[in-house]
Amino acid sequence: MKLADSKVVAVGGGSGIGLAVAKAAAAAGARVVIAGRDAGKLAAAARDVGAGVATAPVDARDEGQLAALFAAQAPIDHLVVTVGPGSTRQRYTSFLEQPTADARALFDNKFWAQYLCAKLAAPHIAKGGSITLFGGGASRRPIKAMAALAAVQAAIEGLTRGMALDLAPVRVNAVAPGRIASSSFGDMPEAARQEMLDKWAAGLPVARIGLPEDAAAAALFLMQNAYSTGNILYVDGGHYLA
């Protein structure tokens, strides 16, 4: 299935992996809409993607905003949701020390936002279309101090498989990235961020941290492969084996 002339809505497309998805889809000839909370960030991202991309401010935790977005963009061929879990502090805290409110926030920010995107977009997905969610490799191999995030990522995988049955013939898949150097660690001091990424790279079979483009390529594959549904595609540099 070709992406040329299809409409791709990328919620979370203003940065990181979502922006890489938007660029790749636009390069393949798709009409792309990038959505996120920060209008200024979306405008800068749109300039980066190039001509023909549209922007739509939305908070993916807000059902009313999502309903309006998807109705306005219908019919949608492919929905990709890269909304993430929140701050680095909320993501990486050991289980007993993590305030329960922070664990709940991870679910609100990532699981429930992706759930709502899929639920409210599904009626507007065109024949032959797809939904691609983003979990993460910690679902099957967490590192220390990320138990709640591992649970969020596993929940997205279960939701993906269940929706693949309930929403058929719309195809529903998920990408599960491992360690990707993107803006999602942007709230860390740069030196600490680089030290963490270097340490992670040294422990991976591929000996490098992933790029947003690595994960975006998986989303493009899932959008275009008409025989893939209920599939969880891990792009983790071999983290699971290391």
Ligand X SMILES: NC(=O)c1ccc[n+]([C@@H]2O[C@H](COP(=O)([O-])OP(=O)(O)OC[C@H]3O[C@@H](n4cnc5c(N)ncnc54)[C@H](OP(=O)(O)O)[C@@H]3O)[C@@H](O)[C@H]2O)c1
Burial 173-199 (b: 16+ CB within 10 A, else e): bbbbbbbbbbebbeebeeeeeeebbee
CB of 5 to ligand X, least distance (A): 25
Judged by CB under 6 A, which stretch of 52-60, 139-147, 157-165, 218-226 contacts ligand X? 52-60
Interface with ligand X includes 106 (CB under 6 A)? no
Structure tokens at 192: 């600490």
Interface with ligand X includes 17 (CB under 6 A)? yes
> Judged by CB under 6 A, which of 6, 8, 14, 174 binds ligand X?
14
Interface with ligand X includes 58 (CB under 6 A)? yes
Q: Which positions from 178 through 197 interact with ligand X, judged by CB under 6 A?
A: 179-180, 182-184
Kindly report the number of other CB atoms within 10 A of residue 226's CB atom: 11
> Judged by CB under 6 A, which of 82, 90, 98, 173 binds ligand X?
82
Count Cα neighbours of 49 within 13 Å in the Cβ-side half-sphere: 34
Amino acid letter for position 108: D
3-state secondary structure of 236: coil
Q: Indicate the residue among 14 and 226 with the shorter CB distance to ligand X.
A: 14
> Judged by CB under 6 A, which of 12, 55, 173, 235 binds ligand X?
12
Q: Indicate the residue among 128 and 195 with the shorter CB distance to ligand X.
A: 195
* Binding footprint of ligand X, residue count (CB under 6 A): 30
Rounded-to-integer distance, Cα 159 and Cα 154, Å = 9
> Judged by CB under 6 A, which of 31, 110, 124, 171 binds ligand X?
110
Judged by CB under 6 A, which stretch of 33-41, 93-101, 124-132, 160-168 contacts ligand X? 33-41
Q: Indicate the residue among 1 and 41 with the shorter CB distance to ligand X.
A: 41
Q: Which residue is nearest to ligand X (CB)?
A: 16
Amino acid letter for position 75: P
* E-state strands within 15-119: 31-36, 54-57, 76-81
* E-state strands within the chain: 7-11, 31-36, 54-57, 76-81, 125-134, 171-177, 232-235
CB of 50 to ligand X, least distance (A): 18
Rounded-to-integer distance, Cα 121 and Cα 72, Å = 11
Footprint on this chain of ligand X (rule: CB under 6 A): 11-12, 14-18, 36-38, 41, 58-61, 82-85, 109-110, 113, 134, 136, 177, 179-180, 182-184
